[in-house]
Amino acid sequence: MSRGTGEAVCATTASPRGDERAPLAQVIYIAEDVLERAGLAGRAWTVPDGHIDDPDVQAANRALSAFASEVYLAAGGRTPTMWDGSPVPEGFLPVRVVASEYLSVEHGPGVRASAQPVTNSITVRHQTNDLTVLHEVAHLLHGTCESGDAHDDAFALTVRDLYAHYLSVKAAERFWTLVGLRAGR
């Protein structure tokens, strides 16, 4: 799972360490729930219900896309180009975020978001927050989908660093208190 390769790694397996401890993915999810309950998840984002052509929906999706794109590029994500290698038009956002309740149909009611590295896009629920978007941007940076294998030590470090920069040092420290020892650090 090299960073920025654009290759999707989406296979799901049991604990990658082959032991009886909880897989790192579960530990990360639990730590993120702790951050949310402690009020450390950053801004709340709301995308209104409506059709993708609705101007209010488009504006909310664009704001989320702008935030995700800023994070992605600042963290070393690949700079987009046109198919022929020429620069993209001004104002082009390299990460597209859209809200859809289809996540619950496709992945189950507990899924909050999904990253699609092949299209460099993120799907979120209509109610989301910075923490969720940062988690999904980390998947794009690592070229991984939401699976057990995707949540390895390198992913945990990336998420921690994004939380420190975009949420707060306190959020990153609390996250790492819960995840760091489990990640072998």
pLDDT tens, position by position, 103-138: 777 777 778 899 999 889 999 999 999 999 999 999
Return the structure tokens found at 143. Answer: 């070229």
Q: Is residue 3 part of a domain?
A: no
pTM: 0.84
Q: State the pLDDT at residue 148.
A: 62
Q: Is residue 45 part of a domain?
A: yes
CB atoms within 10 A of CB 177: 11
| Distance of alpha carbon 31 from alpha carbon 141, whole angstroms | 20
Domain span holding position 119: 24-179
Q: Helix, strand, coil proportions of the chain in percent (round to 5)? A: 45, 10, 45
Low-confidence ranges of the chain (pLDDT < 50): 1-19
Q: State the pLDDT at residue 16.
A: 41
Q: State the pLDDT at residue 17.
A: 42
Q: Is residue 7 part of a domain?
A: no
Q: Is residue 8 part of a domain?
A: no
Q: Any bridge partners for residue 121, and if so which?
A: 96, 116
Structurally, how many domains does the chain consist of? 1
Q: Is residue 4 part of a domain?
A: no
Q: State the pLDDT at residue 182.
A: 59
DSSP letter (8 states) at residue 79: P
Q: Is residue 149 part of a domain?
A: yes
Q: Is residue 16 part of a domain?
A: no
Q: Is residue 9 part of a domain?
A: no
